[in-house]
Structure 1
Amino acid sequence: MNHALSNLLRDAQACHEREPQNVPLIRDMCRALVAHQFEDAALPWTERGLALTPHDAEFVHLRVNALNLVGRHAEAAALLMAERSLLWPPAAFELKLGYSLMMAGDLEQAIARLDEAGRIAHASNHALIPKAAHLLGEALLKHGDGRGFAFWTMRNLDPGAGGSYCAADISPWSREDDLRGKRVLITHQLGFGDQFLLAAALADFQAAGASLLLMSDPQIHRLMQASLPDIEVISAERPLEMGEPLPAEVHAKVAAFSPDFQMPSLFAPVLASDQASRAQPFRPYMRAPADKRAIAAAWSQQLRTQNPGKRLVGLFWDCSQRHSPEVGSVMRCWAARRSIPLEGINRLVLDPAVTRPVQFVNLHHPLVEPMAGVPAGDVVRYSPGVFQFDDTAACIGELDAVISVDSSVANLAAMMGKPTCVAVNTTGDWRWGSAGAATPWIGGVTVLRQKMEGDWAPVLRDMAAWLG
């Protein structure tokens, strides 16, 4: 929270203490927090507002959003149901309720509500069709239903989701059955972890006879090249707008490839979802470049000599976006909920029963490590240095296992086939499933789930047991 907003909040609190019945003050404070993208901080103010003006539509709307941001999804759903008599547009109400139910883990009810939201939107509110379909896809995937992939692709048409790109002069792929001999441009989108996961499904397009050209962020370009030797991978910064011309150098490479179709990477799992017998479509394929692997092998040999008999276990616990107010409340709050506080990690790395057979390795990038904090126990760094993700991959390749929160590191380790333990909050992303210690989408991953929002203690105990 920036200095100006902190001062505003302090002053508003002082005014509220003098005038606790001042509803306009409470309303103005809520609106200021929304304008500064700190909707989560409006939660106590909405409570005050509703205590003074029950059933106020603006306070209810703001409270539902704030409850979802901080992970109190069941409360958000209950509030929506209690206030359903307000003048909500029908599709928007079903959409909000379906989202809250999905995030609360009530997937069957969520799927029904989101399906209804889509039906109403088709009849009366076309602008909400992409969001309803995209959220329905996520709910189905959380439920382990591969039909969700086709709905999930509608995320690319959802203006609120962002992150999609298509070149204006190349035909989009429209799920043609026969891909033999076709040339397909795959444009990159979403975060690094999403790209690591989704690219695993490109093998289905190759098996169907297509040739592929994959666009990749510069930070992961060498890693993707090494991991996908049969696919041409080109480095490209993200275009900002749909249809924006590609940079000249990238455009020349795309023109030389002469694609028949293009598709965003979000479409990569669609072929697997069409094959009912295909289990776990995201299979390990990633590896670091050979030169980085050689450097990492020398490092690990020295570390194992210094720690005879110990297993080397990578550790990643902090999502850096939670420290960045500029990314907006949705991303910041989601990152905060996925991160384990440093004091929790300290309990793990200071436990003699854990550290006796284990040497931990910090997998945070050096630039974000100061924000994540330095554990109190013996947690070493990758001494050759982490500059890009191919360095992280080289390090992971020499480890015996990886423990991580839901992050790009967790996706990377899983797609390298490394024994991976992923700690997820009460919500969890669809790729980690919704129940039990396994996920239907990725093999070789152990999922440890929060039972209560913010309570990592049981998860940390399960981590210790997993290490044992």
Structure 2
Amino acid sequence: MSLNPEHRLLESFLAHTRQPADPQPLKQICEALAGVQRDEQMLPWAEKGLALDPRSRTFVHARARALRLLGHHAQAAQTWIDHATLDWSPLFYLGRLGRDLYLGGNVELAIAVLNQAIQQPEPDNHPDKLRARKWLAEAMLSKGDASGFTHWLWRNCADSGSYRHSDIPMWNGQRDLRGERVLVTHQMGYGDQFMLFGSVRHWREAGAQVMVTCDAAIHSLIEASLPDCKVVACARPLALFAPCDDTLLPAIRAFAPTMQATLLHLPMLAIRDVPRPAPYFPAFLRAPAAQRERATAWAHTLRAQHPERKRVGVFWDCAQRHERTMRSKERSWAGLRSLPVESLERLTLNPEIARRVQFVSLHHPAAEMKSGSPRGNVVHYAPGIASFADTAACIEQLDAVLSVDAGIANLSAMMGKPTAVLVNPTGEWRWGRHSTRSPWMASAQILRQTTMGDWNSVMDLAAAWLSRH
């Protein structure tokens, strides 16, 4: 069989047409679809395979994976339950079942199952146990349980690259940080950094002097927002425990840290605080002065043109869904979070809303060219959005923001701006599970789908939310 993934897929399909009663070509189709990052298309082939071989773990796994990528999480969980008697590794089985139970909304049972998974005898650094801890953490955090951060911290050993300076001891959990100089190294995405850097305040209140690293794309924004910290830009770490970037070393030597922490450590400081910090992640982001000056002039002109309208930022599309080279998981999840332009147009083409609201696109121009632009009552930020500092400056001049579950929602909420976050029934843990409020950020109002993919009811909620703001 060909080594080229696309050729392998075609050859597997041809083999199936010649031998439709043989499950082996169907297994090869599923494997080839995974090889070309089209795992979400495995569902019909996995179901054909199960019809031929009902006890095949390969087809069960492929079916559950495809259902999850398509957003059918409860069906994915039921697939595992229906095939519980197969010869699974308990850790593998419990972790996958718990994950899909959580994503499907059965959070309490998911937590119980995932707790069973992490009690299995495999070592703590076993990949399946680390995955189970991640999903256990997020299930707990979705309920507002801060002790979930203890499990989330294990991502430093799993799927989140991190820096490790060999000469600086890692924070050991001490609460009194008076006299300490803490180097906090970044990781994960922009939205995670926007939210988790809010915990720097807890470390400063505990007495620490803090130096943080961040992605270059958000450096000026974070530097303006943490004026009492040293903020340095560097590349995001992609490997576990990577040595600190060479460009960082002079700044580290000048700061002379006494201990190190990663971004994932930041929320750990307050998990036992009574009363709990409210909000847990306090708003702190602010635009740099130069961008703020340009945005103020733009807003003055816009207000003069439409003094009777409120200005509401809109962000509707997650760019990852357009990147065919991305893994199926990231691409599919971005698609499930994105709002179709035609759904947004229920708001932007509504003449009653247009009398009260002026929408402003918060998309980078290059991203909007991929996502499509809504018709109707939408203007663009005239100074231009070239960086997150520009986006933050624009948001500061708005009355509110309407955003899908993306970095912009985190940015707006962590600026303290009234933010309506449009989420699917699964959503990220930070938006909670059933409530209309985030358990972690004070400014976020959650407008949630009741059925995966159905944005109509969410647009009705958004229209009502706009009428209140």
Q: SS at 1:359's partner residue? A: strand
Instruction: Report Cα offsets for 1:182-230 as digits up to 9, x if no partner.
Output: 1111111111011000000110010000111000111000000111111
Q: Which runs of 5+ in 1 are unaligned?
A: none
Between 1:440-449 and 1:117-126, the stretch displaced more is 117-126
Shift, 1:263, TM fit: 1.3
What letter matches 2:115 in structure 1?
Answer: D
- From 243, 246, 266, the counterpart of 2:244: 246
Distance 1:14 1:75 in 2: 30
Matches within 5 A, 1:31-110: 31-110=31-110
Find the aligned partners of 1:133 and 1:25 in 2 and give their Cα distance: 35
User: Within 5 A, what are the aligned runs for 1:166-177?
Assistant: 166-177=164-175
Q: How far off is 1:379 after superposition?
A: 1.0
- C-alpha deviation, 1:166, in angstroms: 2.2
Match of 1:186 in 2: 184
- Equivalent residue for 2:343? 344
**Matched-pair contact (CA < 8 Å) for 1:91–1:125:** no
Cα 1:153/1:124, change in 2 over 3 Å = closer
Alignment of 1:20-35 (within 5 A): 20-35=20-35
Q: Distance in 2 between matches of 1:243 and 1:438?
A: 36
Instruction: Report the equivalent of 1:356.
Output: 355
How many Å separate the matches in 1 of 2:398 and 2:246?
A: 40
**Counterpart amino acid of 2:138?**
E
Cα deviation for residue 139 of structure 1 reads: 0.9
Partner of 1:115: 115
Matches within 5 A, 1:290-309: 290-309=289-308
Deviations, residues 170-191 of structure 1 (Å, cap 9, x unaligned): 2211212321111111111111
RMSD (CA atoms): 1.9
Task: Please say if residues 6 and 36 of structure 2, whose CA atoms lie closer than 8 Å, have aligned partners that are also in contact.
Answer: no
1:256-267 equivalent positions in 2, closer than 5 A: 256-267=254-265
Say whether the 8 Å CA contact 2:318–2:335 is kept in structure 1. yes
Could you state the TM-score of these two structures normalised by the residue count of structure 2? 0.94
Note closer, same or farther for the CA distance 1:269–1:29 as it changes in structure 2 (3 Å cut): same
**What secondary structure does 1:114 align onto?**
helix
Paired residues for 1:319-334 under 5 Å: 319-334=318-333
Aligned counterparts of 1:340 and 1:246: Cα–Cα separation in 2: 39
Q: Is the 8 A contact 1:121 1:129 kept in 2?
A: no
Q: Distance in 1 between matches of 2:121 and 2:425?
A: 29
Q: Which amino acid aligns with 1:181?
A: G
- Residue of structure 1 aligned with 2:163, choices 137, 142, 165: 165
**TM-superposed deviation, 1:17:** 5.7
Identical residues among aligned pairs (%):
44
Matched residues, number: 463
Which stretch shows the higher mean deviation, 257-266 or 397-406? 257-266
Q: CA 1:15–1:130 in structure 2 vs 1: closer, same or farther (change >3 Å)?
A: closer
Per the alignment, residue 270 of structure 2 pairs with 272
The answer to whether the 8 A contact 2:195-2:281 is kept is: yes
Closer, same or farther in 2 for the Cα pair 1:298/1:123, shift >3 Å?
closer
Residue in structure 2 matching 1:201, options 199, 205, 208: 199
Offset from partner CA, 1:307-347 (integer Å, 9 cap, x none): 22011100001000011122201111111110011111122
Q: Distance in 1 between matches of 2:143 and 2:242?
A: 36
Q: In 1, are the aligned partners of 2:161 and 2:242 still within 8 Å (CA)?
A: no
User: What TM-score, normalized to structure 1?
Assistant: 0.95
Q: What is the one-letter code of the residue matched to 1:53?
A: D
CA distance in 2, matches of 1:244, 1:402: 37
Q: How far is the alpha carbon of 1:21 from its aligned partner?
A: 2.8
Alignment partner of 1:164: what SS?
coil
Q: CA deviation at 1:8?
A: 7.1
Distance 1:111 1:53, change over 3 A: same
SS in 2 for 1:145: coil
Distance (Å, rounded) in 1 between the aligned partners of 2:300 and 2:8:
55
Gaps in structure 2 of 5+ consecutive residues: none
CA distance in structure 1 between the partners assigned to 2:293 and 2:373 by the alignment? 28
**1:291 Cα offset (Å):** 1.4
Report if aligned partners of 1:403, 1:420 keep a CA contact under 8 Å in 2: yes
Q: Name the aligned partner's letter for residue 51 of structure 2.
A: A
SS for the counterpart of 2:439 is coil
Contact 1:186–1:265 (CA under 8 A) maintained in structure 2: yes
